[in-house]
Structure 1
Amino acid sequence: MTDLAIGIDIGGTGIKGAVVDLATGELATDRIKRSTPEGGKPDDIVEVVVELVDALAGEHRDAPVGVCFPAIVLDGRTMSAANVDDAWIGLEAEALFEKALGRDIHFVNDADAAGVAELRYGAAKGREGLVLMTTLGTGIGSALINRGVLVPNTELGHLEVDGKDAEKRAAYIQKERHEWSWEQWAKRLQRYYSHLELLFSPDLFVVGGGVSKHHEEFLPLLDLRTPIIPATLRNNAGILGAAALAVKPAPVA
Structure 2
Amino acid sequence: MPGSRLTKWLAAVPMAALACATIYPLVFTANVAMKDRREYTLDRFAPAGALRWDNIARAWTSVGMSRYFLNSVVVVVCSVAVLLLLGSMAGFALGRLRFRGSSAVFLGILAALFVPFQVIMVPLARIMAGTGLIDTYPGLVLAYVAQFLPFTVFLMTSFYAAVPPEIVDAARVDGTTLYGVYWRIMLPLGAPALLSVGVLNALFCWNDVLISLLLMPSAEHRTLMVGVTALRGQYSADIPTFAAGVLIAAVPVLLVYLFLQRQIADGVTAGSTKG
Higher relative contact order (CA 8 A, sep 6+): 2
Q: Could you say whether these structures have the same fold, taking a TM-score greater than 0.5 normalized by the shorter chain as the test?
A: no
TM-score category, normalised to shorter length: under 0.3
TM-score normalised by length of structure 2: 0.25
- Structure that is richer in helix per residue: 2
TM-score normalised by length of structure 1: 0.26
